Protein backbone atom coordinates (compact mmCIF):
# COMPACT_ATOMS: atom_id res chain seq x y z
CA UNK A 1 0.00 0.00 0.00
CA UNK A 2 1.60 3.28 -1.12
CA UNK A 3 1.59 6.44 0.95
CA UNK A 4 -1.38 8.06 -0.82
CA UNK A 5 -3.67 5.09 -0.33
CA UNK A 6 -2.45 4.56 3.22
CA UNK A 7 -3.17 8.21 3.95
CA UNK A 8 -6.71 7.82 2.58
CA UNK A 9 -7.18 4.62 4.60
CA UNK A 10 -5.97 6.32 7.77
CA UNK A 11 -8.23 9.31 7.10
CA UNK A 12 -11.23 6.99 6.79
CA UNK A 13 -10.32 5.35 10.11
CA UNK A 14 -9.88 8.73 11.74
CA UNK A 15 -13.35 9.74 10.55
CA UNK A 16 -15.07 6.72 12.11
CA UNK A 17 -16.59 6.29 15.56
CA UNK A 18 -15.55 2.66 15.86
CA UNK A 19 -11.76 2.63 15.37
CA UNK A 20 -10.52 4.34 18.54
CA UNK A 21 -13.16 2.65 20.80
CA UNK A 22 -12.22 -0.73 19.31
CA UNK A 23 -8.56 -0.16 20.14
CA UNK A 24 -9.45 0.89 23.67
CA UNK A 25 -11.66 -2.17 24.17
CA UNK A 26 -8.81 -4.40 23.02
CA UNK A 27 -6.48 -2.68 25.52
CA UNK A 28 -9.03 -3.12 28.31
CA UNK A 29 -9.28 -6.85 27.56
CA UNK A 30 -5.50 -7.11 27.62
CA UNK A 31 -5.40 -5.19 30.93
CA UNK A 32 -7.95 -7.57 32.44
CA UNK A 33 -5.84 -10.60 31.52
CA UNK A 34 -2.71 -8.96 32.95
CA UNK A 35 -4.27 -7.94 36.26
CA UNK A 36 -6.07 -11.28 36.68
CA UNK A 37 -2.84 -13.10 35.88
CA UNK A 38 -1.01 -11.15 38.56
CA UNK A 39 -3.76 -11.98 41.07
CA UNK A 40 -3.64 -15.66 40.16
CA UNK A 41 0.12 -15.74 40.65
CA UNK A 42 -0.54 -14.64 44.25
CA UNK A 43 1.73 -11.66 43.92
CA UNK A 44 -0.96 -9.51 45.51
CA UNK A 45 -1.49 -11.37 48.80
CA UNK A 46 -0.52 -8.24 50.68
CA UNK A 47 -2.85 -5.98 48.75
CA UNK A 48 -5.33 -6.04 51.63
CA UNK A 49 -2.72 -4.27 53.79
CA UNK A 50 -2.70 -1.35 51.39
CA UNK A 51 -5.21 1.19 52.58
CA UNK A 52 -6.44 2.36 49.18
CA UNK A 53 -6.75 -1.10 47.66
CA UNK A 54 -9.91 -3.22 47.50
CA UNK A 55 -9.78 -6.20 49.88
CA UNK A 56 -13.36 -7.48 50.37
CA UNK A 57 -14.81 -10.88 49.49
CA UNK A 58 -16.45 -12.27 46.37
CA UNK A 59 -19.96 -10.93 47.04
CA UNK A 60 -18.73 -7.38 47.46
CA UNK A 61 -16.52 -7.70 44.39
CA UNK A 62 -19.43 -8.90 42.27
CA UNK A 63 -21.62 -6.04 43.53
CA UNK A 64 -19.01 -3.40 42.73
CA UNK A 65 -18.19 -4.72 39.27
CA UNK A 66 -21.87 -5.20 38.43
CA UNK A 67 -22.59 -1.61 39.47
CA UNK A 68 -19.68 -0.33 37.37
CA UNK A 69 -20.73 -2.35 34.31
CA UNK A 70 -24.38 -1.30 34.56
CA UNK A 71 -23.59 2.38 35.05
CA UNK A 72 -21.12 2.39 32.14
CA UNK A 73 -23.77 1.02 29.79
CA UNK A 74 -26.16 3.79 30.84
CA UNK A 75 -23.54 6.51 30.54
CA UNK A 76 -22.33 5.20 27.15
CA UNK A 77 -25.92 5.22 25.86
CA UNK A 78 -26.36 8.80 27.05
CA UNK A 79 -23.06 9.82 25.46
CA UNK A 80 -24.07 8.28 22.14
CA UNK A 81 -27.40 10.11 22.31
CA UNK A 82 -25.72 13.44 23.01
CA UNK A 83 -23.30 12.83 20.13
CA UNK A 84 -26.11 12.09 17.69
CA UNK A 85 -27.97 15.24 18.79
CA UNK A 86 -24.78 17.28 18.30
CA UNK A 87 -24.35 15.82 14.80
CA UNK A 88 -27.96 16.67 13.91
CA UNK A 89 -27.51 20.21 15.21
CA UNK A 90 -24.27 20.64 13.28
CA UNK A 91 -25.88 19.34 10.10
CA UNK A 92 -28.82 21.74 10.32
CA UNK A 93 -26.89 24.80 11.53
CA UNK A 94 -23.54 24.54 9.77
CA UNK A 95 -24.22 22.19 6.86
CA UNK A 96 -23.95 18.44 6.26
CA UNK A 97 -20.37 18.72 5.04
CA UNK A 98 -19.31 19.72 8.56
CA UNK A 99 -20.37 16.33 9.97
CA UNK A 100 -17.03 14.89 8.92
CA UNK A 101 -15.21 17.35 11.19
CA UNK A 102 -17.30 16.30 14.19
CA UNK A 103 -16.77 12.62 13.45
CA UNK A 104 -13.01 13.24 13.35
CA UNK A 105 -13.11 14.71 16.85
CA UNK A 106 -10.70 12.52 18.80
CA UNK A 107 -12.14 13.69 22.11
CA UNK A 108 -15.56 12.19 21.39
CA UNK A 109 -14.00 8.94 20.18
CA UNK A 110 -11.89 8.61 23.33
CA UNK A 111 -14.89 9.36 25.57
CA UNK A 112 -17.01 6.66 23.96
CA UNK A 113 -14.06 4.27 24.05
CA UNK A 114 -13.51 4.92 27.77
CA UNK A 115 -17.07 4.05 28.76
CA UNK A 116 -17.21 0.92 26.61
CA UNK A 117 -13.75 -0.21 27.71
CA UNK A 118 -14.66 0.13 31.39
CA UNK A 119 -17.81 -1.91 30.78
CA UNK A 120 -15.91 -4.68 28.97
CA UNK A 121 -13.14 -4.71 31.59
CA UNK A 122 -15.70 -5.13 34.39
CA UNK A 123 -17.31 -8.07 32.61
CA UNK A 124 -13.95 -9.73 31.98
CA UNK A 125 -12.99 -9.48 35.66
CA UNK A 126 -16.46 -10.38 36.93
CA UNK A 127 -16.40 -13.76 35.23
CA UNK A 128 -13.31 -14.86 37.22
CA UNK A 129 -14.68 -14.26 40.72
CA UNK A 130 -15.34 -17.54 42.51
CA UNK A 131 -17.18 -17.66 45.83
CA UNK A 132 -16.84 -21.41 46.54
CA UNK A 133 -15.00 -21.90 49.80
CA UNK A 134 -12.43 -24.41 48.65
CA UNK A 135 -11.73 -22.54 45.39
CA UNK A 136 -12.49 -19.00 46.45
CA UNK A 137 -10.79 -16.46 44.24
CA UNK A 138 -11.12 -12.68 44.33
CA UNK A 139 -8.84 -10.73 41.95
CA UNK A 140 -8.21 -7.82 44.29
CA UNK A 141 -5.82 -6.02 41.95
CA UNK A 142 -8.19 -6.39 39.00
CA UNK A 143 -11.14 -5.10 41.03
CA UNK A 144 -9.05 -2.18 42.24
CA UNK A 145 -8.16 -1.32 38.63
CA UNK A 146 -11.86 -1.51 37.74
CA UNK A 147 -12.65 1.00 40.46
CA UNK A 148 -9.90 3.22 39.12
CA UNK A 149 -11.37 3.03 35.63
CA UNK A 150 -14.79 3.94 37.02
CA UNK A 151 -13.38 7.00 38.76
CA UNK A 152 -11.55 7.97 35.57
CA UNK A 153 -14.79 7.57 33.63
CA UNK A 154 -16.44 10.15 35.89
CA UNK A 155 -13.74 12.63 34.95
CA UNK A 156 -14.18 11.74 31.29
CA UNK A 157 -17.93 12.28 31.60
CA UNK A 158 -17.38 15.79 32.99
CA UNK A 159 -14.97 16.50 30.12
CA UNK A 160 -17.50 15.16 27.62
CA UNK A 161 -20.26 17.47 28.85
CA UNK A 162 -17.96 20.48 28.58
CA UNK A 163 -16.55 19.38 25.24
CA UNK A 164 -19.98 18.75 23.70
CA UNK A 165 -21.20 22.19 24.77
CA UNK A 166 -18.13 23.98 23.43
CA UNK A 167 -17.66 21.99 20.21
CA UNK A 168 -20.99 23.12 18.72
CA UNK A 169 -20.31 26.81 19.34
CA UNK A 170 -19.97 28.53 16.00
CA UNK A 171 -16.69 30.23 16.89
CA UNK A 172 -15.12 26.89 17.77
CA UNK A 173 -16.41 25.28 14.57
CA UNK A 174 -15.05 28.10 12.40
CA UNK A 175 -11.71 28.04 14.21
CA UNK A 176 -11.38 24.28 13.77
CA UNK A 177 -12.15 24.46 10.05
CA UNK A 178 -9.67 27.34 9.72
CA UNK A 179 -6.97 25.21 11.35
CA UNK A 180 -7.74 22.39 8.92
CA UNK A 181 -7.43 24.83 6.03
CA UNK A 182 -4.06 26.11 7.24
CA UNK A 183 -2.83 22.55 7.70
CA UNK A 184 -3.86 21.69 4.14
CA UNK A 185 -2.01 24.73 2.79
CA UNK A 186 1.09 23.68 4.71
CA UNK A 187 0.84 20.18 3.27
CA UNK A 188 0.26 20.75 -0.44
CA UNK A 189 1.94 24.06 -1.30
CA UNK A 190 4.24 24.11 -3.06
CA UNK A 191 3.06 20.98 -4.79
CA UNK A 192 5.68 18.64 -6.15
CA UNK A 193 5.39 16.25 -9.09
CA UNK A 194 8.99 15.52 -9.89
CA UNK A 195 10.94 18.75 -10.18
CA UNK A 196 9.06 21.88 -11.16
CA UNK A 197 10.31 24.19 -13.84
CA UNK A 198 12.72 26.84 -12.70
CA UNK A 199 11.45 30.40 -12.44
CA UNK A 200 13.19 31.26 -15.71
CA UNK A 201 11.50 28.37 -17.52
CA UNK A 202 7.98 28.52 -16.09
CA UNK A 203 6.77 30.90 -18.77
CA UNK A 204 8.56 28.95 -21.48
CA UNK A 205 7.21 25.57 -20.38
CA UNK A 206 4.61 25.52 -23.12
CA UNK A 207 7.41 25.73 -25.69
CA UNK A 208 8.59 22.26 -24.62
CA UNK A 209 5.24 20.71 -25.54
CA UNK A 210 5.46 18.95 -28.94
CA UNK A 211 3.49 20.74 -31.64
CA UNK A 212 1.65 17.55 -32.55
CA UNK A 213 0.76 16.69 -28.94
CA UNK A 214 -3.00 16.94 -29.40
CA UNK A 215 -2.97 14.90 -32.60
CA UNK A 216 -0.55 12.17 -31.50
CA UNK A 217 -1.62 11.78 -27.87
CA UNK A 218 -3.91 9.01 -26.68
CA UNK A 219 -6.37 9.44 -23.83
CA UNK A 220 -6.55 7.28 -20.72
CA UNK A 221 -10.15 7.00 -19.57
CA UNK A 222 -11.19 6.86 -15.93
CA UNK A 223 -11.81 3.27 -14.86
CA UNK A 224 -13.89 4.44 -11.91
CA UNK A 225 -16.00 7.42 -10.96
CA UNK A 226 -16.46 9.76 -8.02
CA UNK A 227 -14.62 12.65 -6.45
CA UNK A 228 -10.87 12.65 -6.96
CA UNK A 229 -9.61 12.59 -3.38
CA UNK A 230 -5.90 12.25 -4.10
CA UNK A 231 -3.43 11.81 -6.94
CA UNK A 232 -0.17 9.91 -6.57
CA UNK A 233 2.08 12.44 -8.27
CA UNK A 234 5.23 10.41 -7.72
CA UNK A 235 3.72 7.39 -9.48
CA UNK A 236 2.70 9.50 -12.48
CA UNK A 237 6.20 10.97 -12.76
CA UNK A 238 7.78 7.52 -12.40
CA UNK A 239 5.60 6.07 -15.18
CA UNK A 240 6.42 9.01 -17.43
CA UNK A 241 10.17 8.49 -16.94
CA UNK A 242 10.11 4.69 -17.21
CA UNK A 243 8.15 4.70 -20.48
CA UNK A 244 9.70 7.93 -21.87
CA UNK A 245 6.36 9.71 -22.03
CA UNK A 246 4.84 13.14 -21.70
CA UNK A 247 1.64 13.00 -19.63
CA UNK A 248 -1.00 15.68 -19.34
CA UNK A 249 -3.18 15.24 -16.26
CA UNK A 250 -6.69 16.51 -16.95
CA UNK A 251 -8.15 16.06 -13.46
CA UNK A 252 -7.15 17.33 -10.04
CA UNK A 253 -8.24 16.57 -6.46
CA UNK A 254 -11.69 17.86 -5.65
CA UNK A 255 -13.23 17.34 -9.06
CA UNK A 256 -16.01 14.89 -9.79
CA UNK A 257 -15.01 12.38 -12.46
CA UNK A 258 -17.49 10.33 -14.44
CA UNK A 259 -16.39 6.81 -15.33
CA UNK A 260 -14.99 6.84 -18.86
CA UNK A 261 -14.12 10.55 -18.91
CA UNK A 262 -10.70 11.81 -19.98
CA UNK A 263 -8.16 11.33 -17.21
CA UNK A 264 -4.67 11.61 -18.69
CA UNK A 265 -3.33 12.25 -22.19
CA UNK A 266 -0.30 10.14 -23.14
CA UNK A 267 2.29 11.24 -25.70
CA UNK A 268 3.36 9.51 -27.88
CA UNK A 269 0.09 7.65 -28.11
CA UNK A 270 1.51 4.47 -29.65
CA UNK A 271 3.22 3.65 -26.35
CA UNK A 272 -0.05 3.43 -24.48
CA UNK A 273 -1.00 -0.12 -23.53
CA UNK A 274 -3.81 -1.55 -21.42
CA UNK A 275 -1.35 -2.33 -18.66
CA UNK A 276 0.01 1.22 -18.68
CA UNK A 277 -3.51 2.66 -18.68
CA UNK A 278 -4.32 0.52 -15.64
CA UNK A 279 -1.18 1.73 -13.87
CA UNK A 280 -2.10 5.36 -14.56
CA UNK A 281 -5.60 4.76 -13.22
CA UNK A 282 -4.22 3.40 -9.96
CA UNK A 283 -2.56 6.77 -9.33
CA UNK A 284 -6.00 8.32 -8.81
CA UNK A 285 -7.93 7.74 -5.58
CA UNK A 286 -11.70 8.22 -5.78
CA UNK A 287 -14.37 8.51 -3.14
CA UNK A 288 -17.99 9.42 -2.58
CA UNK A 289 -17.06 12.75 -1.02
CA UNK A 290 -14.32 15.33 -1.11
CA UNK A 291 -11.58 15.43 1.53
CA UNK A 292 -8.96 17.95 2.52
CA UNK A 293 -6.11 15.51 1.81
CA UNK A 294 -5.03 17.29 -1.41
CA UNK A 295 -7.99 19.62 -1.95
CA UNK A 296 -7.38 23.08 -0.52
CA UNK A 297 -10.80 24.28 -1.69
CA UNK A 298 -12.60 21.68 0.45
CA UNK A 299 -12.04 23.50 3.76
CA UNK A 300 -12.68 26.81 2.00
CA UNK A 301 -16.06 25.52 0.84
CA UNK A 302 -16.86 24.49 4.42
CA UNK A 303 -16.24 28.04 5.67
CA UNK A 304 -18.19 29.46 2.75
CA UNK A 305 -21.11 27.14 3.52
CA UNK A 306 -21.22 28.32 7.13
CA UNK A 307 -21.17 31.96 5.97
CA UNK A 308 -23.82 31.38 3.29
CA UNK A 309 -26.17 29.74 5.79
CA UNK A 310 -25.59 32.60 8.22
CA UNK A 311 -26.52 35.11 5.51
CA UNK A 312 -29.71 33.29 4.52
CA UNK A 313 -32.94 35.25 5.18
CA UNK A 314 -34.08 32.69 7.74
CA UNK A 315 -30.93 33.14 9.86
CA UNK A 316 -29.61 36.62 9.05
CA UNK A 317 -26.41 36.36 11.12
CA UNK A 318 -23.74 38.59 9.57
CA UNK A 319 -21.45 38.18 12.60
CA UNK A 320 -20.87 34.51 11.77
CA UNK A 321 -20.19 35.42 8.14
CA UNK A 322 -17.64 38.03 9.27
CA UNK A 323 -15.81 35.42 11.34
CA UNK A 324 -15.67 33.11 8.32
CA UNK A 325 -14.23 35.94 6.24
CA UNK A 326 -11.55 36.50 8.90
CA UNK A 327 -10.47 32.85 8.72
CA UNK A 328 -10.49 32.90 4.92
CA UNK A 329 -8.43 36.07 4.77
CA UNK A 330 -5.85 34.60 7.16
CA UNK A 331 -5.56 31.48 4.98
CA UNK A 332 -5.26 33.55 1.79
CA UNK A 333 -2.52 35.65 3.37
CA UNK A 334 -0.65 32.44 4.12
CA UNK A 335 -1.26 31.09 0.62
CA UNK A 336 -0.18 34.35 -1.05
CA UNK A 337 3.30 33.90 0.43
CA UNK A 338 3.70 30.39 -1.00
CA UNK A 339 5.19 29.48 -4.35
CA UNK A 340 2.37 28.24 -6.55
CA UNK A 341 3.28 25.06 -8.43
CA UNK A 342 4.07 25.30 -12.10
CA UNK A 343 1.93 23.16 -14.44
CA UNK A 344 5.13 21.94 -16.11
CA UNK A 345 7.08 19.22 -14.31
CA UNK A 346 10.57 18.18 -15.38
CA UNK A 347 12.75 15.20 -14.59
CA UNK A 348 16.38 15.38 -13.48
CA UNK A 349 17.49 15.73 -17.13
CA UNK A 350 15.34 18.87 -17.57
CA UNK A 351 12.95 17.03 -19.86
CA UNK A 352 9.27 17.88 -19.61
CA UNK A 353 7.42 14.81 -18.31
CA UNK A 354 4.13 15.89 -16.73
CA UNK A 355 1.71 18.72 -17.39
CA UNK A 356 -0.58 19.11 -14.41
CA UNK A 357 -3.33 21.59 -13.73
CA UNK A 358 -2.50 23.15 -10.37
CA UNK A 359 -4.81 25.18 -8.18
CA UNK A 360 -4.14 28.86 -8.81
CA UNK A 361 -4.40 31.67 -6.30
CA UNK A 362 -7.18 33.22 -8.38
CA UNK A 363 -9.19 29.99 -8.17
CA UNK A 364 -8.89 29.97 -4.39
CA UNK A 365 -9.85 33.65 -4.12
CA UNK A 366 -12.95 33.05 -6.22
CA UNK A 367 -13.90 29.98 -4.17
CA UNK A 368 -13.47 31.95 -0.94
CA UNK A 369 -15.28 35.18 -1.84
CA UNK A 370 -17.74 34.61 -4.69
CA UNK A 371 -20.66 33.10 -2.80
CA UNK A 372 -20.17 35.24 0.31
CA UNK A 373 -20.11 38.33 -1.90
CA UNK A 374 -23.29 37.23 -3.67
CA UNK A 375 -25.24 36.29 -0.55
CA UNK A 376 -23.96 39.28 1.44
CA UNK A 377 -24.58 41.88 -1.24
CA UNK A 378 -27.11 43.71 0.91
CA UNK A 379 -25.14 43.41 4.17
CA UNK A 380 -23.03 46.44 5.00
CA UNK A 381 -20.95 44.64 7.61
CA UNK A 382 -20.13 41.72 5.30
CA UNK A 383 -19.35 43.99 2.35
CA UNK A 384 -16.99 46.16 4.36
CA UNK A 385 -15.24 43.14 5.88
CA UNK A 386 -14.71 41.63 2.42
CA UNK A 387 -13.00 44.82 1.25
CA UNK A 388 -10.94 44.99 4.46
CA UNK A 389 -9.91 41.37 3.93
CA UNK A 390 -8.83 42.11 0.36
CA UNK A 391 -6.77 45.06 1.60
CA UNK A 392 -5.09 42.85 4.20
CA UNK A 393 -4.31 40.11 1.70
CA UNK A 394 -2.91 42.70 -0.71
CA UNK A 395 -0.06 43.46 1.68
CA UNK A 396 1.08 39.82 1.52
CA UNK A 397 0.92 39.27 -2.24
CA UNK A 398 4.00 39.39 -4.46
CA UNK A 399 2.70 38.10 -7.79
CA UNK A 400 0.93 40.42 -10.27
CA UNK A 401 -1.65 37.76 -11.12
CA UNK A 402 -2.65 37.44 -7.47
CA UNK A 403 -3.25 41.17 -7.17
CA UNK A 404 -5.30 41.18 -10.37
CA UNK A 405 -7.51 38.44 -8.91
CA UNK A 406 -7.98 40.43 -5.71
CA UNK A 407 -8.71 43.64 -7.58
CA UNK A 408 -11.32 41.82 -9.66
CA UNK A 409 -13.04 40.70 -6.47
CA UNK A 410 -12.89 44.20 -5.00
CA UNK A 411 -14.56 45.64 -8.10
CA UNK A 412 -17.34 43.05 -7.96
CA UNK A 413 -17.90 43.73 -4.26
CA UNK A 414 -18.15 47.45 -5.01
CA UNK A 415 -20.61 46.99 -7.86
CA UNK A 416 -22.72 44.64 -5.76
CA UNK A 417 -22.91 47.15 -2.93
CA UNK A 418 -24.17 49.84 -5.30
CA UNK A 419 -27.07 47.56 -6.21
CA UNK A 420 -27.81 46.01 -2.82
CA UNK A 421 -27.28 48.87 -0.34
CA UNK A 422 -29.61 51.86 -0.44
CA UNK A 423 -28.20 54.07 2.31
CA UNK A 424 -25.85 56.69 0.85
CA UNK A 425 -23.63 57.01 3.93
CA UNK A 426 -23.12 53.25 4.00
CA UNK A 427 -22.11 53.32 0.36
CA UNK A 428 -19.61 56.06 1.12
CA UNK A 429 -18.01 53.98 3.87
CA UNK A 430 -17.82 51.03 1.51
CA UNK A 431 -16.29 53.17 -1.21
CA UNK A 432 -13.59 54.39 1.19
CA UNK A 433 -12.61 50.80 1.95
CA UNK A 434 -12.73 49.93 -1.74
CA UNK A 435 -10.39 52.79 -2.63
CA UNK A 436 -8.04 51.79 0.19
CA UNK A 437 -7.91 48.22 -1.06
CA UNK A 438 -7.38 49.28 -4.68
CA UNK A 439 -4.62 51.71 -3.70
CA UNK A 440 -2.80 48.96 -1.84
CA UNK A 441 -3.15 46.59 -4.79
CA UNK A 442 -1.94 49.16 -7.28
CA UNK A 443 0.93 50.16 -5.02
CA UNK A 444 2.06 46.55 -4.67
CA UNK A 445 1.56 46.02 -8.40
CA UNK A 446 3.77 49.01 -9.17
CA UNK A 447 6.54 47.47 -7.11
The residue among 24 and 233 whose pLDDT is bigger is: 24
pTM of the model: 0.81
User: Among 338, 426, 430, which Cα is nearest to 391's?
Assistant: 430
Given this model, what pLDDT does residue 447 score? 56
To the nearest whole percent, how much of the chain has pLDDT over 90?
37
Q: What is the spatial distance between Cα 423 and Cα 421, in angstroms, rounded to a whole number? A: 6
What pLDDT score does 338 carry? 85
Rounded to 5°, the CA angle 26-27-28 comes to 90
| Average pLDDT value for the chain | 85
- Lowest mean pLDDT across 47-56, 136-145, 166-175, 250-259: 47-56
Strands, sheet with 226-231, edge to edge from the N-terminal-most edge strand: 256-257, 226-231, 284-287
At residue 445, the pLDDT reads 57
- Label residue 106 by pLDDT band (50, 70, 90): confident
Higher pLDDT, 49 or 42: 42
pLDDT of 198: 46
Position 115 confidence tier, pLDDT thresholds 50, 70, 90: very high
Q: What is the pLDDT of residues 55-80, one digit of tens each?
A: 667 888 889 999 999 999 999 888 88
The whole-number average pLDDT for the span 89-96 is 78
Looking at domain 195-287, what is its CATH homologous superfamily? Pyrimidine nucleoside phosphorylase-like, C-terminal domain (3.90.1170.30)
Residue 366 has pLDDT above 70, yes or no: yes
CA distance linking residue 333 with residue 95, whole number of Å = 26
3-state secondary structure 252-313: CCCCEECCCCEEEEEECHHHCCHHHHHHHHCCEEEECCCCCCCCHHHHHHHHHHHHHHHCCC
What is the average per-residue pLDDT within 200-219?
73
User: Both ends of the chain: CA-CA distance in Å?
Assistant: 48
Query: pLDDT tens-digit profile of 413-423?
Result: 999 988 888 88
Q: Give residue 200's pLDDT.
A: 41
Give me the pLDDT at residue 192, please: 44
Q: What average pLDDT does this structure show over 146-171?
A: 89
| Annotated domain spans of the chain | 3-168, 183-190+295-340+358-446, 195-287
Q: If we measure between CA atoms, which residue out of 175, 179, 181 comes closest to residue 291?
A: 181
Which region holds residue 254: left if phi is over 0, alpha if psi is between -120 and 50, else beta? left
Q: Which helix (H) or strand (E) holds 76?
A: helix 58-94
pLDDT in tens, 273-302: 899 999 999 889 888 888 887 888 888 999
CATH topology of domain 183-190+295-340+358-446: 1.25.40
Amino acid sequence: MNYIRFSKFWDSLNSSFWFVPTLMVALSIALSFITIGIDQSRETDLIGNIGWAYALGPNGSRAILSAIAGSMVSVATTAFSITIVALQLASSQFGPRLLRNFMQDTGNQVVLGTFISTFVYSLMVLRTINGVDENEFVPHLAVTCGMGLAIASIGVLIYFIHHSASSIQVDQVIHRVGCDLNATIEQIFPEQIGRSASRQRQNAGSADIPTDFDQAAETVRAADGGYVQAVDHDQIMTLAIEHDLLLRVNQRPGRFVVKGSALVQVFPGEKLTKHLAAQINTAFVYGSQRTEQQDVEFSIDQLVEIAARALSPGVNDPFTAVRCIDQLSAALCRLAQRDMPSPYRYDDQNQLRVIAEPTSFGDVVDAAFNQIRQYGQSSVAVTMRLLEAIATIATFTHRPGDRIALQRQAEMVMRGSEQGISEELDRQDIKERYLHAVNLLEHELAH
